């Protein structure tokens, strides 16, 4: 992810989450947060130039990779993009010494939970009534 991806990334964020990140957040993650690893997924439709259709942000602290956000544009879901993003992001974190990965997901987010299960994430805790829904903490070793 680079600074000129931010408008497309923010649009995907807003289409994907009821509580999107604040306006300056991606700029901070790219330029200031040394722990942040950021990727976008791009497609190249003929004659249109490349288009950002997904993003993932990992905060890596020592040997833990925390998946801070992951989203795919609603028009491009179920095409393997989310899986590819996560695979690349975890690969990058492994290269930088990660030994396990952690994330939080709403209990009713079945699409994301199924994706994470496929990667071997397992539920290690629950935070009831966090925001509006229950939140599950998942770990992958
Ligand atoms: C979760 C999300 C990133 C998945 O992205 P995606 O590109 O559609 O996912 P993929 O096409 O790579 O799917 C990989 C696997 O995940 C599971 N999956 C993904 N979406 C699913 C859905 N709507 N229903 C059931 N399973 C789903 C399936 O097992 C799928 O494999 P399959 O298509 O072979 O059955 C996307 O739905 C999204 O952006 N959601 C809104 C934001 C969000 O909730 N992010 C996660 C926050 S914790």
Q: Is the CB of 88 under 6 A from ligand 1?
A: no
Residue 137: partners with Cβ closer than 8 Å, 6 or more residues away: 102, 103, 104, 123, 124, 125, 126, 127
The DSSP bridge partners found for residue 59 are 36, 66
pLDDT digits (tens, 9 = 90+) for 16-57: 999 999 989 999 999 999 999 999 999 998 998 999 999 999
Residue nearest to atom 8 of ligand 1 (CA): 77
| pTM of structure | 0.95
Q: Is the CB of 115 under 6 A from ligand 1?
A: yes
Residue nearest to atom 40 of ligand 1 (CA): 71
Position 136 confidence tier, pLDDT thresholds 50, 70, 90: confident
Task: Work out the angle between the directed axes of helices 110-118 and 81-95 (0-180°, nearest 10).
Answer: 50
């Amino acid at each position: 992810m680079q600074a000129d991806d931010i408008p497309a990334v923010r649009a995907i964020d807003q289409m994907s989450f009821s509580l999107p990140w604040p306006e300056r957040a991606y700029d901070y993650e790219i330029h200031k947060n040394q722990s942040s690893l950021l990727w976008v997924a791009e497609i190249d439709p003929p004659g249109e130039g490349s288009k950002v259709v997904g993003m993932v942000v990992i905060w890596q602290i020592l040997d833990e990779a925390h998946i801070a956000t992951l989203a795919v544009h609603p028009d491009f879901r179920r095409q393997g993009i989310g899986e590819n993003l996560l695979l690349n992001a975890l690969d990058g974190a492994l290269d930088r010494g990660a030994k396990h990965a952690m994330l939080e997901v709403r209990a009713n987010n079945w699409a994301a939970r199924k994706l994470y299960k496929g990667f071997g994430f397992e539920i290690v805790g629950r935070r009831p009534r966090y925001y509006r829904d229950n939140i599950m903490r998942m770990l992958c070793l």
